[in-house]
Amino acid sequence: MIWRTFKGEPIKLPVKEAVEHAIIRETNAGYKLKVCIGTDSQVYGKETEFATVIVFLREKHGGFMFINNDKTTKQYSIKERMLVEVARSIETAYELCNLFTQYDVDMEVHADINTNPQFKSNEALREAMGYILGMGFAFKAKPEAFASSCCANKCVN
């Protein structure tokens, strides 16, 4: 996976190393961090583009994020696509969770799934919530899931 900053600068280190460097840098600067991981997607004709973000929140001092974009030509139903988004977020969270434990950083996985049953994405809510909570991660859905519904949403081309 190729990661970049919001400014578009490529992250040359493996993401786990880059995240660890960021945690050390920010905590040494005196910030209390929280990390939120989320994925959003957009369908463009025959292509589906996914954006996964790792959002670092500095308590009362803004934040920054790392971004990964990926495209596929696989066709998904809305429910499948929502669950693929969640799977991508969990994959990233799982790769990094030992760091968050080691450095005492709170982490949440955000799902771009609406809690309102009138929305199509709601079909995937129960499975997504079970998947995330079953992995031992804190879970947020819309409207609290800003990492996926706002941050990742801005990063899907």
> Burial level of 4, CB count in 10 A (0-12/13-18/19+)?
middle
Q: Which residue has the tokens 């596929």?
A: 72
* pLDDT higher than 80, residue 157: no
- What does the pLDDT look like over 104-124, one tens digit per residue? 999 999 998 888 888 887 888
- What does the pLDDT look like over 58-117, one tens digit per residue? 999 999 999 999 999 999 999 999 999 999 999 999 999 999 999 999 999 999 888 888
How many residues does the structure list for the chain? 157
Name the average pLDDT for the chain.
Answer: 94
* Residue ranges per structural domain of the chain: 3-155
Residues 6+ positions from 36 with CB-CB distance below 8 Å: 55, 57, 107, 108, 109, 110, 140, 146, 147, 151
Span 3-155 CATH architecture: 2-Layer Sandwich (3.30)
What pLDDT shows up at residue 121?
Answer: 78
Q: What percent of the chain has pLDDT over 90?
A: 83
